[in-house]
Amino acid sequence: MSAKQKPSRKSTEKTAADGMVAEVLEGNTRAIAKMMSRAEAGFGESHTAMAEIYRHAGNAHVIGITGVPGSGKSTLVCALAQAFRASGRRVGIIAVDPSSLFSGGAILGDCVRMGDLATDDGTFVRSMATCGALGGLARASLDTVDILDAAGFDVVMVETVGIGQDEVDIAEAAHTIVVVSAPGLGDEVQAIKAGVLEIADIHVVSKADKSDAQETASNLQSMLALGLSGKNRFGWQVVVLLSSAQKGDGIAELAASIDKHFQHLQDTGELSLRRRRILETRIVKTVEDTVRSRITADCEQQLDALLDRAETRDIGPQEAAQQLIQNLKI
Ligand SMILES: Nc1nc2c(ncn2[C@@H]2O[C@H](COP(=O)(O)OP(=O)(O)OP(=O)(O)O)[C@@H](O)[C@H]2O)c(=O)[nH]1
Ligand SMILES: [Mg+2]
């Protein structure tokens, strides 16, 4: 090949990225995993590919499953995945794991115990650790949702602990938000503290095989009656359901309620409003992440100098911020 014919490095990269996007769109599992790693790491070259993926996304029903640690979210997600698979839908699962205690293997392990989801090519499970996501966990996990969506998964479930702003933001970036409470943990109180009670479209009291499950459900019902959540302006009535993933009780009802909520979103036009709100969160978060990373990359020394001056009260924090903003290379 002559020098004239030789493709530039840039165009080779573009072709490779195009090839990978095509494979993702075909549902190729290895390409999906590779694309996710790139998106997670926030590599510059993945931007073009992610833009192309975004153009093909927008068909999946995104379900956020949140609740305090140990409330039974993963077990419930696996049981729900089986219910959705039984109706012929392809299911993507993203477990956002702030503590990184569980690896992708662990959640898959749960699923294997519950059936053969792990070997089913209609199911894709991905575990994301906070530490692995450069430039923001919310940005990375929502990019990952796009990849599964574009790859043709009908349902994408995102499991996240409802503690911490990032995790609540992720749960809120779903079309349907399921808040899981377990009996005996005082979860309903903890959920309020964590700010997740009011974001629920559907409440589930898990581990309903335990004797105090009904009491937990009644507590939640009373809170809804007090107006802490409940009927929103589009007329959706927030429900409290009981389920035992271990026994398989209440799973079909929960899956049906999730479907009913999605139908409601479509019928009332709320879906497009939610989509717009999710997009806003994503854009603003990406800007925040970019600015934050530029401060570290471009202005670390200047920040130190400004801190010295602010410490001696030579300038105030407002002026220091203004000076920093002027020097950001965005
Ligand atoms: N009795 C009973 N135990 C359950 C049920 N579902 C889950 N568990 C148990 O509750 C514990 C926590 O379950 P997980 O599904 O890992 O809970 P999680 O909310 O995903 O936990 P984190 O991801 O650590 O926040 C495990 O020991 C499960 O076996 C259930 O329906 N009944
Ligand atoms: Mg879990």
Q: What is the pLDDT of residue 1?
A: 43
Q: What is the pLDDT of residue 50?
A: 93
Question: How large a percentage of the chain has pLDDT more than 90?
Answer: 50
Instruction: pLDDT band for 96, please (50, 70, 90 cuts).
Output: confident
Chain-centroid distance of CA 327 in Å reads: 33
Pocket lining for ligand 1, CB < 6 angstroms: 67, 69-75, 161, 206-207, 209-210, 244-246
Ligand 2 centroid from CA 76, angstroms: 9
pTM confidence score: 0.87
For a pocket test of ligand 1, which of 68, 73, 75 has the largest count of ligand atoms closer than 8 A to its C-beta? 75
How far is Cα 138 from Cα 326, in angstroms, rounded to an integer? 27
Ligand 1 centroid from CA 113, angstroms: 13
Ligand 1 closest atom vs CA 68: 25
- Which residue, judged by its Cα, is nearest atom 1 of ligand 1? 207
Domain ranges of the chain: 10-56, 57-268, 284-327
User: SS3 sequence, the chain?
Assistant: CCCCCCCCHHHHHHHHHHHHHHHHHHCCHHHHHHHHHHHHHCCCCHHHHHHHHHHHCCCCEEEEEEECCCCCHHHHHHHHHHHHHHCCCCEEEEEEECCCCCCHHHHHHHHHHHCCHHHCCCEEEEEEEHHHCCCCHHHHHHHHHHHHHHCCCCEEEEEEECCCHHHHHHHHCCCEEEEEECCCCCHHHHHHHCCCHHHCCEEEECCCCCCCHHHHHHHHHHHHHCCCCCCCCCCCCCEEEECECCCCECHHHHHHHHHHHHHHHHHHCHHHHHHHHHHHHHHHHHHHHHHHHHHHHHCHHHHHHHHHHHHCCCCCHHHHHHHHHHHCCC
- Looking at mean pLDDT, say which of 12-26, 44-58, 181-195, 287-301 comes out highest: 44-58
Ligand 1 centroid from CA 75, angstroms: 6
**What would the pLDDT profile of 189-214 be if each residue is shown by its tens digit?**
666 666 788 889 999 999 999 989 99
Ligand 1 closest atom vs CA 97: 23
Instruction: pLDDT band for 2, please (50, 70, 90 cuts).
Output: very low
Ligand 1 closest atom vs CA 246: 31
Ligand 1 closest atom vs CA 75: 15
Ligand nearest to the CA of 254: 1
Looking at per-residue confidence, does 118 or 305 come out higher? Answer: 305
Note the CATH number of domain 57-268: 3.40.50.300
Ligand nearest to the CA of 213: 1
